[in-house]
Amino acid sequence: MTGIAFVDGALCVDAAIIGKGLGFDPSLVQARMREGKIKSLCERGLDEDAGRYRLTFFYESRRFRLVVDEEGNVLRHSLVDFGNR
C-alpha cells in the first residue's frame, strides 16, 4: 500500500507518511506503534466537514495531523512539536 486508503472499512496509512510526518525512519513505525510509543486518533467529519477525516499521530512531544477526504487525498497536514512541556 502507498498513501492513505480505506481497507475493509478502516483507514490505513502508509508507514512512510507517518514516519516522515513524525521525523523518523518509516521502518520504525510499526515497532513504535506496537510498543505504544505512537498513539493515533481518527475523527470523522460531520455537517460541513462530512466526507473528511482527521488523523492525528502522537509521538513523544510531537503531534502530526492529516486531514483527508474519502478517497484518501491529503487536504491538509501539520506538525507541532511541543518541546519539553
The total domain count for the chain is: 1
pLDDT at 1 over 60: no
DSSP 13-70: E-HHHHHHHHTS-GGGHHHHHHTT-EEEEEEE--GGGTTEEEEEEEETTEEEEEEEET
- The confidence band for 2, taking pLDDT boundaries of 50, 70 and 90, is low
> For residue 59, what pLDDT is reported?
96
Give the integer Cα–Cα distance in Å for 15 and 29.
Answer: 6
pTM of the model: 0.90
The domain that holds 68 is classified in CATH as 3.30.505
Model confidence over 25-71: pLDDT tens digits? 999 999 999 999 999 999 999 999 999 999 999 999 999 999 999 99
- If you search the block for the grid coordinates 492529516, which residue do you land on? 66
Structural domain of residue 10, as residue ranges? 4-81
Give the integer Cα–Cα distance in Å for 64 and 81.
Answer: 9
Supply the Cα-derived Rg of the chain in whole angstroms. 13
